[in-house]
Amino acid sequence: MKIITGNELRTGDVIWWAGEGWSRHVNDAVDVPEGAEAIIARENAKQIVTDTHVIDATQTPEGVRPAHIKDRIRALGPTVRLDLSLKPADPTAGNWVI
């Protein structure tokens, strides 16, 4: 699947295109098989997101899994500070990125 990611302009938070708006959780990301460029252009024009781009991902039983390790780390947070990640209660969360 193709998903769109970027950062919120004001905060820098990692965000994912969820169909009608942006989410901070990668599992909310929706497949955008076509028309991604139009969405990016429209959203960029609102001047509330930045560094928007399309990446590859797969839908797994556990949720959306970006294809590249860099995007998985973006989705989770730093693996060496899981207390600051999206899964602070899961000490094995770092295994997901590998």
Partner 1 sequence: MYQYDSYDQQMVDTRVAEFRDQVSRRLAGEITEDQFKPLRLKNGLYLQLHAYMLRVAIPYGTLSSAQMRMLGDIADKYDRGYGHFTTRQNIQYNWIKLEQAPDLLADLASVEMHAIQTSGNCIRNTTADQFAGAAADELVDPRPYAELLRQWSTFHPEFDYLPRKFKIAIIGSDTDRAAMKLHDIGIQLVQNDAGEIGCRFYVGGGMGRTPMIAPVIGDFVPPLQMISYLEACLRVYNRYGRRDNKYKARIKILVHEIGADEYRRQVEEEFAHILTLGLEPPPAELERIKGFFEQPGFEAGLSDDLDLSDPDFALWVDQNTHAHKQPGYAIVTISLKPVGGIPGDATADQIRLMADLAKELSFDELRVTHAQNIVLPHVRKADLYALWQKLDAAGLADANLDLIGDIIACPGLDYCSLANARSIPVAQKISERFADLGRQRELGELKLKISGCINACGHHHAGHIGILGVDRKGTENYQLLLGGSEAADTSLGTITGPGFSEDGIVDAVEKATNVYLAQRSDGERFLDTYRRIGMAPFKEAIYG
Closest CA to 2 of 64, 45, 54: 54
Q: Which is nearer to partner 1, 47 or 60 (CB)?
A: 47
42 CB burial (10 A radius; 0-12, 13-18, 19+)? exposed
Nearest CB to partner 1, comparing residues 27 and 44 = 44
> Are 1 and 31 within 8 A, CB to CB?
yes
Helix (H, G, I), strand (E, B) or coil at 69: helix
Q: Looking at beta carbons only, is 32 or 97 nearer to partner 1?
A: 97
Question: Which helix (H) or strand (E) is 74 found in, with range?
Answer: helix 69-76
User: Interaction with partner 1 in 56-95: which residues (CB under 8 A)?
Assistant: 67-70, 73-74, 77-81, 84
Site residues (CB under 8 A) for partner 1, limited to 9-48: 9-14, 44, 46-47
Nearer to partner 1, 10 or 34 (CB): 10
Q: What residues make contact with partner 1 under the rule CB under 8 A?
A: 7, 9-14, 44, 46-47, 50-51, 67-70, 73-74, 77-81, 84, 98
